[in-house]
Structure 1
């Protein structure tokens, strides 16, 4: 198949996969990318709402909705999977907010974010290639569905 005639998702995956061919880097990404996604949601969760009748998490919810809409447009099956992952991530943030409070959720989110990015850069050092997002910021959004697509392929699910 000619990559120019492929779906946009297939073109993104081809570009992303080209920068992630090393097995160790891929394994790091399978752990670090979801960690970064969750931590970004957690950090947005901690941003105070502007209006008093909103609760913490409104900014995370808006970001998750916008990102989900993008994913759903690229692939309905991956969009459904990401919707479920966003729901779980939101539930985890809400649970941690309830049990630990916003200040500790913020610290955990920062810690996970920093550690996961360090892991990512170690993976790219092993790979010997720059991260994809340095050439196109869209790849920051492609990473999570690339990892999810790997899971789908393991189960034989089409996307």
Structure 2
């Protein structure tokens, strides 16, 4: 069995309840986005000196996503492509939030992060099982890939 199949199967064991699954479809992408937003909020002068002054995507979130992408590539190249597309969407949405200038990106991200995690823990209470990342932190990255693999299955794309 491939490592990605093993991880997705193990992650799925604590995500059987329909309510918990629905909550995950909402909260996992929000948590992924909020983390990107938080990391993008870290002053990035050092990164911009390498990736281009004034480049809105030259930030620590982009650097982090490069490392995260390497992890996804090690599991599944097709899934990593989907995850990169989602990550790019998150970077773009972070840029949009910054351009609205209603509230700082870090503040919006913290609010989303807290609310989404409350949802996640409620979902696991309904499920009656602990979140997978309590067992192994890599499941924090497997969760988004678990959702992506369902999209791939629906579209008939092998992963």
TM-score by length of 1: 0.90
1:41 shift after superposition? 0.0
**Any unmatched runs of 5+ in structure 2?**
none
How far apart in 1 are the matches of 2:101 and 2:65?
22
1:8-27 to structure 2, matched below 5 A, reads 8-27=3-22
CA distance, structure 2, for counterparts of residue 145 and residue 99 of structure 1: 30
**What is the TM-score with the length of structure 2 in the denominator?**
0.90
Question: Which residue of 1 is the match for residue 77 of structure 2?
Answer: 76
Alignment partner, residue 28 of structure 2: 33
1:128 aligned to 2:101? no
Q: Distance in 1 between matches of 2:68 and 2:93?
A: 18
Residue 155 of structure 1: how far off its partner (Å): 1.7
More divergent stretch after superposition (73-82 vs 128-137)? 73-82
CA distance in 2, matches of 1:82, 1:60: 14
Shift of residue 27, structure 1, vs aligned partner:
0.8
In the other structure, the counterpart of 2:118 is: 118
Cα deviations by residue, 1:60-103 (Å, 9 ceiling, x for unpaired): 001111111111221111111111111111111112222217x5
Q: Does 1:99 align with 2:100?
A: yes
Match of 2:146 in 1: 146
**Across the two proteins, how many residue pairs are aligned to each other?**
153
Equivalent in the alignment of 2:41: 46
How far apart, in 2, do the equivalents of 1:129 and 1:44 lie?
29
Distance 1:107 1:22 in 2: 32
CA-based RMSD of the aligned residues comes to 1.6
